[in-house]
Amino acid sequence: MSIADWLKQPWPWYVAGPLIGLLVPVLLLIGNKSFGVSSSLRHVCAACFPANISFFKYDWKKELWNLFFVAGIMIGAVLISQFFSNPNPVHLNPKLVEELGQYGINNSSNKLFPPELFNWNTLISLKGVVIMLAGGFLVGFGTRYAGGCTSGHSIMGLSNLQLPSLIATISFMAGGFIAANFLLPLILKL
Amino acid sequence: MKSIETINEKQHHKFLTDNTDFEVRSMDTICVNESELKHPFWHNLKYLGAGILFGIFLVKAEVISWFRIQEMFRLQSFHMYGVIGSAVVVGAISIWLIKKFKLKTMYGEQIEFITKKINKGQVYGGLLFGFGWALTGACPGPLYALIGNGATVIIVTLFSAVAGTWVYGYVREHLPH
């Protein structure tokens, strides 16, 4: 295998997970920042549409670091997709492949999302509205209501042994189990 | 001068403990050290760098894959549990070391940890976020990464997430916490 091919390989969990975990001390040591992403959504609200809502009245400029952080996430993803993207489809459990096949979703492309579902045309279908618009809304509403997302609660909070973060993480998983196993099959049939 | 500082610190502490929102830094804006730690704009590039690394990790680990999230919620693969679990182990050991050796930031500032309080939001909000996570296949970090990875339509999902956050802020006082 050439080096170029090797760099295009996806990483196993025991490589990627510890590296993600290392971002926790890195952010603390370079500026006392707690690892977290969903706060960026709030800063966008505070910066662009505060609308006199007290929840959005704070000095968001002091939290600019978080917007730099999420801009970095986007740039990192561009770099990989341009130069080191995996040419093969994601290696999936055959049971999932079979189930999704019933809904016309095939994991045949090398993309990390099903293009049949996530494209500009499906956005005007009921299925697309529920998955992309309602789904996104729930991500924004739910993370803020819970006080954090997978990064802030499940990684940063659990690393700091916070019981509230454990409760939040269990709730994330419970919601995800219900939606993936019972709601999504109905939505995909739309 | 000193007494003012003490009062500020007390108010600051009360503010933090009363606050039910756990987005630490976004509320933590009256830090007593704040004036000493005003940095020029370009200091934020450190966080851009950290974000680039996070983006690379998210894509290479396929954490941003809608398919991987479906596998996780169907218990069909260990992958996502391995990623999150090992990240927590490394994060926990790091925080333990930081506390044990009282490590300071690169600017010599004391590293602060905020104790979170239990509230109903973690359950209700958590469940709602779980629904959204399973549908979109993305939590907030991957939303940004997916756009960078070429799923341009996810821009709409991201705006929708901003709208969700805004509506939460709007109705917040009427929700159980």
Question: Which of A6, A79, A112, A171 to mutate to test binding with chain B, by most B CBs within 10 Å of its CB?
Answer: A112
Is there a domain that residue A100 lies in? no
Looking at the fold, whether A78 and A136 belong to one and the same domain comes out as: no
Query: What is the structure's pLDDT at B14?
Result: 55
Looking at the fold, whether A2 and A81 belong to one and the same domain comes out as: yes
CA-CA-CA-CA torsion sign (A148, B138, B68, B72): positive
Looking at the fold, whether A127 and A73 belong to one and the same domain comes out as: no
Q: Which domain holds residue A175?
A: 117-190
User: Which among B132, B141, B151 is the nearest to A136, CB-wise?
Assistant: B132
Average pLDDT, integer, range B2-10: 53
Query: What is the structure's pLDDT at B34?
Result: 39
**A-contacting residues of B 43-102, CB under 8 Å?**
43-74, 76-92, 94-95, 97-98
Could you say which residues of chain A have pLDDT below 50? none
Looking at the fold, whether A78 and A123 belong to one and the same domain comes out as: no
Looking at the fold, whether A134 and A174 belong to one and the same domain comes out as: yes
Is there a domain that residue A180 lies in? yes
Taking 80 as the threshold, does the pLDDT of residue B121 lie above it?
yes
Query: What is the structure's pLDDT at B4?
Result: 53
Is there a domain that residue A10 lies in? yes
Is there a domain that residue A29 lies in? yes
List of E strands, chain A = none
User: Which among A19, A73, A160 is the nearest to B141, CB-wise?
Assistant: A73
Domain boundary among A62, A85, A108: A85
Taking 70 as the threshold, does the pLDDT of residue B3 lie above it?
no
Looking at the fold, whether A1 and A76 belong to one and the same domain comes out as: yes
**Residues B81 and B88 sit within 8 Å (Cβ to Cβ):** no
Domain boundary among A85, A107, A137: A85
Is the CB of residue B32 less than 8 Å away from at least one CB of chain A?
A: no
Closest CA to B164 of A179, A38, A172, A129: A38
Query: What is the structure's pLDDT at A190?
Result: 86
Encode pLDDT of A9-40 as tens digits.
999 999 999 999 999 999 999 999 999 999 99
Domain boundary among A85, A100, A133: A85
Closest CA to B141 of A77, A167, A91, A61: A77
Is there a domain that residue A108 lies in? no
Task: Give the confidence band of B96 by pLDDT, cuts at 50, 70, 90.
Answer: very high
Domain count within chain A: 2
Quote the CA–CA distance of A168 and B84 in Å, as a whole number: 14
Looking at the fold, whether A48 and A126 belong to one and the same domain comes out as: no
Is there a domain that residue A178 lies in? yes
